Amino acid sequence: MNFEKQLSKALTESVINDPTKLESLKTLITLATEHYQKRAAILENLQKVLDNPKKSKKLIAELKLPDLEKGDTLLVGKFKNRKAEIKGFSTDENGQPIAQTTKGDQKIFKPRIAKLMPKKD
């Protein structure tokens, strides 16, 4: 939802004379200000983390990618419920990593990784 476009459209339609449209304009303005305040807060917190080396190391450690190897199982398909075994790795035309599996080529960042899922009793 692009708040700037909606706001400019609402103002050009002279909604200020109609009380029902004025209420929706107030709601739109409230949503837009909340959106930009949250965005500013997120950027500020991210900058604090990046400025502090201890916090940035912790963040990088939390974002560590899993080690995938030949023989690991991925869950693929629309509902991520078909098991596929990794046979090898390659890249696509955009240079993105691809896992060659028993169910065909799969993007690395799309399927579920079976060994990272919680164990069922």
Domain that holds residue 95: 73-113
| Side-chain-facing half-sphere of 114: CA atoms under 13 Å | 13
48-105 tens-digit pLDDT: 766 776 766 666 666 666 788 999 999 999 899 999 999 999 888 888 788 999 999 9
Same domain, 55 and 93: no
Question: Tens of pLDDT along 11-49?
Answer: 555 555 555 655 666 676 677 777 777 777 777 777 776
pTM of the model as a whole: 0.47
Q: Total structural domains in the chain?
A: 2
CA 78 → CA 17, 75, 110, distances in Å? 50, 10, 10
If one compares 58 and 109, the residue with the highest pLDDT of the two is 109
42, 83: one domain: no
| Distance spanning both ends of the chain, measured CA to CA | 43
Q: DSSP letters along 10-56, please?
A: HHHTTGGGSHHHHHHHHHHHHHHHHHHHHHHHHHHHHHHHHHSHHHH
Does residue 68 belong to any structural domain of this protein? Answer: no
Does 120 fall in a domain?
Answer: no
Q: How confident is the model at residue 121 (pLDDT cuts 50, 70, 90)?
A: low
Q: pLDDT value at position 106?
A: 92
Identify whether residues 57 and 98 lie together within a single domain: no
Alpha carbon dihedral 78, 80, 85, 89, in 10-degree steps, equals 70
pLDDT at 72: 93
Q: Please tell me whether residues 55 and 22 are part of one structural domain.
A: yes
48, 97: one domain: no
